[in-house]
Amino acid sequence: MSSLKEVKVALAGNPNCGKSSLFNALTGSHQRVGNFSGVTIEKYEGYVDYKNYRIRFVDLPGTYSLTAYSPEELVTRNYLIDEAPDIVVNVIEGPNLERNLLLTTQLMEMAVDLVVALNMFDEVQAQGIEIDIKQLQRLLGCHIVPTSAKKKQGLDSLLDHVVRVYEGDIEVKKNKLAFRPEVDVAIEKVTALLSHEPELDKYNLRWLAIKLLENDKEVYNVVREYPVWVKIELALQQAMQETGTVYGVDPEISITEDRYAFIRGAMQECMRHPREKKQSVTDYIDLVVLNRAFGLPIFLFIVWIIFHMTFTLGTPMMDGLDFLFGLLAENVAPLLPNDTLRSVLVDGIIAGVGGVLIFLPNIILLFIGLSFLEASGYMARAAFVVDKVMHRFGLHGKSFIPMITGFGCSIPAIMATRTLKSRSDRLATIMVIPFMSCGAKLPVYVLLAGAFFTPAVAANVMFGIYMLGIVFGLFSALVMKKTLLRSESEPFVMELPPYRWPSLRSVLVQAKNKAMMYLKKAGTIILLAVLLIWTFSNYPRNPELDAGLERQIASIEQTNVDEKQKDLAIMEVENRVNAAQLEYSLAGRAGKFLEPVIRPLGFDWRIGVALVTGLAAKEVVVSTMGTIYSLGETDETSAELKTILKRDPGFSKATALSLMVFVLLYIPCVAAVGVMKKEIGEWKAVAFYGAYALAAAWIFSFITYRLANLLL
């Protein structure tokens, strides 16, 4: 246990103000990441030891205000109320001081112990902006510390101010904003009424009164539970009448206007811009990247670069990890004489852990790319460029990046939807991501297209499958946004921050945090899922088959052929027995149980088994088919499996097309489903998605099979 005194500090600020960079610069490697209670919004915590204190920082979600509009705003203000941090550090973007002060005024209304970090002060100086910090301190009633997270300037001064405010060495005056007289009278009257309820003491009563006058639904729900609500409601109605009579507007509008009046006055007193404003680098770049003709092609090219980097640079590392886990399995297997224990450890646990970790390079590379775009300021432009196209299908411009990411892997794509503030936009995007053809589906397409079509036709078939996923996903989003998810939508109000070269440390820290969350969320889920699928595919055992296998192996061992021929003969026998055991297992029985349902799609029980095991990972469909056809471990390049499929009377071009469509649309791997649940926060929505995906897969596969039989 540390003997240092602890100080709890919350970092609050607008998006793109450098708050997270400041958090990373202050806390370094002493960080942990999780979620705020009850929501999927990420919670970053870290600490720094300074003098005799351990200062614990919580990086609150970026927000422009403390209204009850977005989840980020609610999380931020609820944390400030419920957790009551010792100090609130309001991080302000120096070059955009006026816009950032709206949040500052609302923090002043909460009467928290406030310190302002005037961040990006190096840019303020470079642009020739003059800020009278002393006068601004007098107006805000708190100390202001110039900082630069990128250049690590002012960090010790900020920590020193935090400690001194905590010790009481620096006074925080907690200035009250002056509203117009009628509003101030109403605030005082409602505050006095609220003081009669001791249970409301955890709130700042003046802040509660202001929020009631602003018609804040969350605060209404809190206060109306108390007997004093009857008198408060009358006071609120009276205030509305008086301000309406005098000013022609409600108190809510009056309060907002008075906040902005304070901010404009503060800017006139404290800030001076250079007389001649020169065109900045940002202005010149935006002339190109926001151009109607060039904007979209440039965006697609940048997405292609990130996509290419992720899955080109990541593939060798994935292959390396796959090789290492294969090597580990080979070395562990001989050490375990018990067949069941060996199979559980090698085929279950090692395969399950490996199934998680081999995707880690892609996850890290992807989030390095996305973090770079976000921190550089380009991500806002990207959303702006594609918003018009995405809006036609009810989606937000920011939905495009997660959907593109889904072509690599659904797991990081689903996690990437956190850039969307509106829950309905996030839900719609999450539910259409699995319809993008992830890399795990590609082996199935390659096997079936290669077996039944010439190379030229196979390429067209695969292109058609990819396009079907995109079109179906977009129209699914449109239907959802018009019906189930119609109630809420995030307006596209896009701030375009200046371009900045991101700090490498900040980008890497964000990528590391995302990777750790992936391991935490996907790791446990996929490991349990693989063990479940393993059990499903291996039990119950048929003792007669096992006994017959031992007899056949003993008989082969007694023959007078060379060792190589013996090994081949034993392998053939083992493959046949494994195929029979799979048919006898729960997975095989499930396949036969499903056969009447999937028979109209051209599938028999064997394909049913492959689809069941494919829930672990889509590429398992191929290896399962290899087992069913007594070929042992196979992949999509197996010429023997392709030949067997072509000769199988139960398989045809129509069956192959139908199966590709079904694999495209039905439920993704269980790891993706688990992450989906973590991100959405409830099983109800996930169950709806599962039913929708299965129904869509069945209907479109049925149509494909019938049309293919007529046309081919």
What are the residue boundaries of the structural domains of the chain, listed by start?
5-167, 181-272, 525-711
Residue 297 neighbours by CB distance under 10 Å: 11
pLDDT at 8: 96
Least confident interval from 215-229, 234-248, 299-313, 421-435: 299-313
- The larger pLDDT score, comparing residue 396 to residue 98, is at 98
* Six token digits for residue 525: 């889920």
The overall longest dimension of the chain from CA atoms, in Å, is: 109
Q: What is the mean pLDDT of residues 186-211?
A: 90
> What is the pLDDT averaged over residues 575-581?
76
The region, left, alpha or beta by phi > 0 then psi within -120 to 50, assigned to residue 172 is beta
356 pLDDT band, cuts 50/70/90, is low
| Confidence at residue 496, expressed as pLDDT on a 0 to 100 scale | 66
Average confidence score pLDDT of the chain: 82
Query: What is the pLDDT averaged over residues 477-504?
Result: 71
- Please tell me the total number of residues recorded for the chain in this structure: 712
Give me the amino acid identity at 222: V
Say if domain 5-167 classifies as CATH 1.10.1060.10.
Answer: no
Separation CA 359–CA 415 (nearest Å): 14
pLDDT score of 103: 93
Q: Average the pLDDT over 323-328 and give the result.
A: 83
**In the numeric block, which tokens belong to residue 487?**
């109630």
Tell me: pLDDT of 632 over 60.
no
For residue 287, what pLDDT is reported? 83
Percent of the chain with pLDDT over 90: 25
Query: Which residue is associated with the tokens 């031992």?
Result: 550
Least confident piece of the model among 124-138, 256-270, 283-297, 598-612: 283-297
In the structure, what pLDDT confidence band is assigned to residue 495 with cuts at 50, 70 and 90?
Answer: low
Please give the C-alpha separations between residue 119 and each of 170, 247, 330, 575, in angstroms, as whole numbers: 20, 38, 55, 66
∠ CA(544), CA(547), CA(551), 5° rounding? 135
Helix (H) or strand (E) holding 343: helix 339-343
Mean pLDDT, range 658-664, rounded to an integer:
95
- How sure is the predictor about 36, in pLDDT bands with cuts at 50, 70 and 90? low
What is the pLDDT averaged over residues 634-654? 75
- pTM listed for this prediction: 0.63
Flag whether pLDDT at 523 surpasses 70. no
Count of CA atoms in the C-beta half-sphere (13 A) of 287: 5
Q: What is the pLDDT of residue 638?
A: 63
Tell me: pLDDT of 49 over 90: yes
Token reading at 3: 């003997």
What are 496's two structure tokens? 């375009």
Fold of 181-272: Helix Hairpins (1.10.287)
Residue 574 pLDDT class (50, 70, 90 cuts) = confident
Question: CA nearest 668: which of 645, 696, 641, 642?
Answer: 696
- Three-class secondary structure assignment of 540-605: CCCHHHHHHHHHHHHHHHCCCCCHHHHHHHHHHHHHHHHHHHHHHCHHHHHHHHHHHHHHHHCCCH
| pLDDT the model gives residue 663 | 94
| Position 525 pLDDT exceeds 70 | no
Residue 564: how many other CB atoms lie within 10 Å: 8
Provide mean pLDDT across the span 164-171: 89
Distances (CA, A) of 15 to 64, 111, 264, 296: 7, 22, 21, 24
Question: Do the beta carbons of residue 569 and residue 555 sit within 8 Å?
Answer: no
Task: Evaluate if residue 711 carries a pLDDT over 80.
Answer: yes
